[in-house]
Amino acid sequence: GSPYTARSGMILADGGKTLICWPAASGAVVIPEGITKIGNEAFQNSGLTSVTFPDSLLCIGSYAFSYCNSLKQVTFPQHLREIENNAFSGVPLTAIDLPASVQRIGDGAFQQWGPSAPVSVTVRNPYAVFGTEVLQYNYAMSAAFAGTFVVHGYAGSTAAAYAAALTEEYVRLYM
């Protein structure tokens, strides 16, 4: 048998736990409970305007939502553990609030590709591991847009160190 199944327009794997793709997805999408991973490139370049994640979601794959130009706001579930490389690269988010459960943020996860409003990033896990260029503009524009990210994190946290290394504005969170 095939390792893939189809349900409500979605292609799933791992016994229905990994959403591989949802070809007809556009506009406001609600990902069903029970999905634990959104696969690589699952929604890349799609016309999503909003996405609601299930509480069961643990991982968002590489390039999963990259270049979704109409996606402006995302609320992450409280049990999410990992956001893989370039998961939201090129997505015009202006507020990113990562729950304390997030342990790893991959390379270029929230990399921006053009001018936007200042991006507020809150990292609630003081020990979250950051990949490279997680919050930067693409390399060709990084100098022109330096200082457009405002990072919120705890004193002594990895978020504070990351913001300092990038010379981005840092706002201390208090427990």
Residue 141: its pLDDT value, please? Answer: 47
Three-class DSSP category at 67: coil
Query: For each of the chain's 175 residues, which pLDDT tens digit applies?
Result: 679 999 999 999 999 999 999 998 999 999 999 999 999 999 999 999 999 999 999 999 999 999 999 998 899 999 999 999 999 998 988 889 999 999 999 999 998 766 556 788 899 999 999 998 887 665 444 445 555 678 888 888 998 888 888 765 666 666 4
**What are the backbone angles phi and psi of residue 122, rounded to the nearest 5°?**
-110, 125
Task: Evaluate if pTM is beyond 0.85.
Answer: yes
Q: For residues 40 and 2, what is the distance between their CA atoms, to the nearest angstrom?
A: 19
The 10 Å Cβ neighbour count of residue 160 is 20
What are 16-52's pLDDT values in tens digits? 999 999 998 999 999 999 999 999 999 999 999 999 9
Three-class DSSP category at 139: coil
What are 105-114's pLDDT values in tens digits? 999 999 876 6
Three-class DSSP category at 122: strand
